[in-house]
Amino acid sequence: MKKTSPLPSVIGCLVIQLCVGILYLWSVFRNDFPAVYALADDSTIPGMITSYMVLSFVVGNFIGGFINDKKGPKFTAVIGVVMFAAGVGATGLLTAQSVGLIVLTYCVIGGLGSGIAYGACISCVQKWLPHRRGLASGLAVSAFGFSTVVFAPVASWLIDAFRNADTGIADFSPVFFILAGVFFAFGIAACFFVRLPDSKYLAALPKPAANAKTVSSSRDYTLAQAAKTIPFWSIFLYIFFINGTWNLTSPLIATLGEQKRDLTHALAVFAVSFTGVTNSAGRLIMAAVSDRIGRVAASLILCGITLVGAIFMTFIAGIPYIVTVAVIAFAYGGPSAINAAVSTDFFGPKNSGTNYGVVMMGLGVSSVFFNMISNTVLKRDPIPTFIMGGVTAVLAAVCMLVIGRYLAKIKRGESL
């Protein structure tokens, strides 16, 4: 009998993740956005659009988790891809309209679709590779992060191709139409390959070593059961704090580098673009590392890297500035893969879509909260911004230590 292979489903999920990586594509449109919509150069709207997208994305994770656990990953991924492509395409129809409508189509509809597909794909890949859960999560989320590396140059080329030679203002409509068509075509095609493994495939998998650093619960928790435990909210708070440093840092990268840290415009743009590569690398590498040294140890290493990076950002300049930004992006990407594995380690794979979808709400709250703090309280002043970024890394480490204590309880066979 022909052996079942995980490759078709896993590759299908990775292609979908590549298509719906909406969160990292916005930076391509951001510089042209004020001119297209006649906004002041110092408007906070372009920066907040990222926050709105992240918030919609995590709500999509939440909704998609319920759908995925009831209907399966293929059905859920199709809904996500259709919504995502529809949101991006509808944005092309509304570029002459109000900014509020763009928020509705690009951020809300597109962001929800992205989150719905994202959660389904992570859950599916994890179920095909339960013996390498960290690597599975890393593959899925690194493909999502790598979207900016693949599509950012394409979107940038399209923006320049449809730029008015006289006014210098880009026409976003055809850009969004073309991207929506590409995302829909490749995303739907990939959905046909997505399915769950059968029991014979799972039974034939190698069992984890008895002395493995990773620990898995023998019980599948429902959302109601998981939400009554301390680890559930510790994971939520860890996600909230560990993403705080990046949410504070990312709006400053290009302008700070060019204005105060001795970078040319080209190098400042490169610094932003290169974060997509290191972000994806962090997702893939640290997820695999977590399978070997444990989720807690890997997460604490990332907290330490983030703290050191935040300290260096208060004074570093030139090429070391680019390196520091890249390292922070690496440390920002790593938890995205480990978090999904930690959630499944605690609460089991059966309801992983729902449980992870809820704790992922910490990402959306973090994005909105820290972007508001950056714009209103800190006024994007580098020194207090990066000091606060260091504090959030320390608080994330505290949350992870709490998580570690409870993972130890699972290893001893105790209940949460």
Asked whether residue 322 falls in the same domain as residue 305, the answer is yes
Are 17 and 155 part of one and the same domain? yes
> What's the pTM?
0.78
Could you list the residue range(s) of the whole structural domain that residue 39 is in? 1-207
Average pLDDT for 72-77: 94
In the predicted model, is pLDDT for residue 31 greater than 50? yes
Residue 17 amino acid letter: Q
CA–CA dist 73, 121 (Å, integer): 7
Q: Which two tokens stand for residue 194?
A: 């997505």
pLDDT value of residue 191: 96
Q: Reply yes or no on whether the pLDDT at 328 is more than 90.
A: yes
What integer pLDDT is reported at residue 40 of this predicted model?
57
| Same domain flag for 193 and 265 | no
pLDDT at 213 over 70: no
Cβ neighbours around 100 below 10 Å, total: 9
Same domain, 222 and 203: no
Q: Which of 187, 207, 227 is the last residue of a domain?
A: 207
Q: Are residues 330 and 200 in the same domain?
A: no
Assess whether 202 and 245 both reside in one domain: no
Mean pLDDT in the chain? 85
| % of residues, the chain, pLDDT over 70 | 92
Last residue of a domain, one of 207, 237, 271: 207
> What share of the chain has pLDDT > 90, as a percent?
36
Residues 203 and 339 grouped into a single domain: no
Q: What is the mean pLDDT of residues 314-324?
A: 93
**pLDDT surpasses 50 at 85:** yes
CATH for 345: 1.20.1250.20
Q: Are 81 and 183 in contact (CB under 8 A)?
A: yes
Last residue within a domain, chosen from 174, 207, 240? 207
Q: 163 has which bridge partners?
A: 170
64 and 167 together in one domain: yes
Give the number of other CB atoms < 10 A from CB of residue 10. Answer: 21
Question: pLDDT category, 407, cuts 50, 70, 90?
Answer: confident
Range with top average pLDDT, 100-109, 182-191, 250-259? 182-191
Domain identity same for 157 and 231: no
Q: Is residue 134 within 8 Å of 337, Cβ to Cβ?
A: yes
pLDDT (tens digit per residue) in 248-303: 887 788 778 888 899 887 788 788 778 878 988 888 888 888 888 888 999 999 99
- What local confidence, expressed as pLDDT, does residue 210 receive? 47
**Dist CA 291 CA 18 (whole Å):** 24
Please check whether residue 81 is in contact with residue 184, taking contact to mean a CB–CB distance below 8 angstroms. yes
Please tell me the distance from the alpha carbon of residue 74 to that of residue 123, in angstroms, as a whole number: 11
Are 125 and 203 part of one and the same domain? Answer: yes
Same-domain pairing of 119 and 149? yes
Output the pLDDT for position 201. Answer: 85
For the chain, give me the number of helices (H) and strands (E)? 21, 0
Q: Is the pLDDT of residue 91 over 70?
A: yes
Tokens of 99: 């900014």
Q: Which amino acid is at 100?
A: G
Distance of CA 355 to the CA centre of its chain: 17
Q: What is the pLDDT of residue 214?
A: 60
In total, how many domains does the chain have? Answer: 2
Indicate whether 173 and 192 sit together in one domain: yes
Q: Please give the angle made by the CA atoms of 74, 343 and 16, to the nearest 5 degrees.
A: 30
Q: Does residue 69 or residue 416 have the better pLDDT?
A: 69
